Amino acid sequence: MRFLRHGLAAVLLAYSSLAAAVLEIEIVGAGENQIPIALVPFGGDEKLAAEINGIVAADLQRSGLFRLVDPAGKSPHEPGEVNYADWQVRGADALSIGQAGVLADGRIEVQFRLLDAVKQIDLGGHAVSAAKGQVRAVGHRIADLIYEKLTGDRGVFSTRIVYVNRLDSRYKLIVADSDGYNEQVLLSLNEPIMSPAWSPDGSHLAYVSFENGHAAVYVQSLYTRQRKLIANFEGSNSAPAWSPDGALMAVVLTRDGSSQIYLVRPDGSNLRRMTFSGAIDTEPHFSPDGQHLLFASDRGGSVQIYRMAVSGGPAERMTFGGGNNYSPRYRHDGKVFVFTHRENGRFYIATQDFQTGQMELLTAGGWEKKPSYAPNGKLILYASEGRGRGILATVSSDGRVKQNMFTQSGDAREPVWGPLP
Amino acid sequence: MKKLVISVVLVNFLAACASHPPAETSAPAAENAAPVAATAPAASAAVAVDPLNDPASILAGRSVYYPFDVSTVQEADKPLVQAHGKYLAEHADRKVRLEGNCDERGSNEYNLALGQRRADGVKKMLELSGAKAAQLESVSYGEEKPRASAHEEAAWSQNRRTDLNYSK
């Protein structure tokens, strides 16, 4: 369990999103080496520039890897206008400058440049444009480019998440930007919804709905909104997971007597049974190379994580030691998996390295469940509790930076991070 | 018969700590729920109250409870399940939905599976007591529809149950 060494005060950012839902993000902790960066508001359209600046600043701050330096009165927009001494004195290692404007047809166009204030070199310029009204997308793209240039890793600011909101007995399946904005309600029911799963290309969601009186699996297109009921056998049909090539899914069915794992095509055809334990086998997740499945099973007497080949065969136990383990998910590089660990009545988010078998707890323990990696492997999204209700939270993969997201009223549950766009 | 009543009551008390929630225990079996006779003259058979609607009948109990992480029907609940099985055997037109539930201490999917195992266990016992498979449906709500939602045993014990839901 990591404690937060730098004692950075919680930063509260409260906004109203376009959908008029109140969103609040609370960040605690800081990365080991934060990059000090000055984001100089772009020249051109002042209002647009201020809005973009706010989005980029929030994104970079949320990653925990950047410390924002106040430009304090200096506003260069071109490289020729930059006096590096100004920025060294302010302690900035990097600064971004540029221009932002709206064309006659409403299209947004930005040119920006990143500069290394220490080495005093131009790190390169970018042009980012988007359709009318897509300011947030522009801001996220800029944040991605800055993040990638300065950390060497892919940015995930342009990704989306899915989660379930429960308020009294109303359940909604919601897709939102990874910062919680732009909520789109995909499904709204008076019966539970659970276990959403992104198709690898982000075009479809599989999920479990109880609208037929029991758990059944649907696959729905995010573009057409059309959906197909793909598993509706006797008992419970649940835990959908997609293979990395999108051609195959794993599901859990009780049709043959206990919760077992099956493979099926995304249209519901070609059902093939994978596990034959007679115990509870559930929560399958495909490896990035599509060759293996991690899953949770109580076949050994307590719920633990196992791995088996997609081609079939015996399962290998992965988690040992005290406690129970659930909800395994591979990291994108296949070297680590994240899961829920329960011990002494508390739920933790934990990771385990395949090579060393070493388990590490990333959170302080409470009601922390259902972790999923961001597609760059640097952040983990999970369900937590805050202010007496279910909320979404993220933790950095080293455990140092935590973020709580307070979205619309009700309980937020079952979050899953979406793929790179 | 009286002896049977007493032993049922005693077993209920003993099991209270293990699996029964503080509220909502069914009343001990009232032996021989007397059928209410219709006042029609010279009726060949008295019109009986359907025991399913009789609040004094053991059948008024519609929930089976479990200890943590357990899916087998506990001793204290066996008479209830067996009574329902017998009722279903005698009323072939009746159908019942068994709905398994869990407390929140597991992943949502594991709890869905555990709830299904609980419902399936009651279904099997009903069949052994004479109910036909066609009369029975078993489903699970896992932890998704809790009866009580606090993070404590008083709530959890209420949620660890299978409900017998007769269709109208």
With contact defined as beta carbons under 8 Å apart, do A45 and A81 qualify?
no
Residue-level pLDDT at A409: 86
Which candidate in A209, A212, A236 is best for mutational testing of the B interface (most B CBs within 10 A)?
Answer: A236
Give the residue numbers spanning the domain of A106. Answer: 33-151
Question: Between chains, do A239 and B107 touch, taking CB under 8 Å as contact?
Answer: no
Question: Between chains, do A236 and B116 touch, taking CB under 8 Å as contact?
Answer: yes
Eight-class DSSP state of B28: P
| Chosen domain end from A123, A151, A179 | A151
A72 and A198 share one domain: no
| A377 assigned to some structural domain | yes
Architecture of domain B2-31+47-166: 2-Layer Sandwich (3.30)
A400 vs A199: which has the higher pLDDT = A199
> If you average pLDDT over every residue of chain B, what do you get?
81
What sign results for the dihedral spanned by CA atoms A56, A61, A67, A70?
positive
A166 and A145 share one domain: no
| A325 assigned to some structural domain | yes
| A25 assigned to some structural domain | no
Report ipTM (2 d.p.): 0.92
A109 and A177 share one domain: no
Please tell me which residue of chain B has the smallest CA distance to A251.
Answer: B109
A245 and A290 share one domain: yes
CATH of the domain at A331: 2.120.10.30
| A79 assigned to some structural domain | yes
A115 and A244 share one domain: no
Alpha-carbon distance A81 to B166, whole Å? 79
A183 and A105 share one domain: no
A143 and A173 share one domain: no
Residue-level pLDDT at A276: 97
| A4 assigned to some structural domain | no
Element (H, E) at A187: strand A184-189
pLDDT tens digits for A57-110? 999 988 889 999 999 989 999 999 999 999 999 999 999 999 999 999 999 999
| Chosen domain end from A103, A124, A151 | A151
Dihedral angle over CA of B141, B143, B144, B150, nearest 10: 140
| Chosen domain end from A120, A151, A182 | A151
Give the total number of structural domains in chain A: 2
Q: If interface means Cβ-Cβ distance under 8 Å, which residues of chain B face chain A?
A: 97, 104-110, 112-117, 120, 137-142, 144-145, 151
| A14 assigned to some structural domain | no
Please tell me which residue of chain B has the smallest CA distance to A326.
Answer: B107
Please tell me which residue of chain B has the smallest CA distance to A283.
Answer: B109
Residue B114 has pLDDT above 80, yes or no: yes
pLDDT tens digits for A325-334? 999 999 999 9
CA distances from residue B158 to A27, A279, B79, B143, B162 in whole angstroms, order as listed: 36, 25, 20, 11, 10
Q: Note whether A195 contacts B: Cβ–Cβ < 8 A.
A: yes
Give me the sheet containing A324-330, strands edge to edge.
A324-330, A336-343, A346-353, A359-361
| A16 assigned to some structural domain | no
A114 and A146 share one domain: yes
A363 and A227 share one domain: yes
| A2 assigned to some structural domain | no
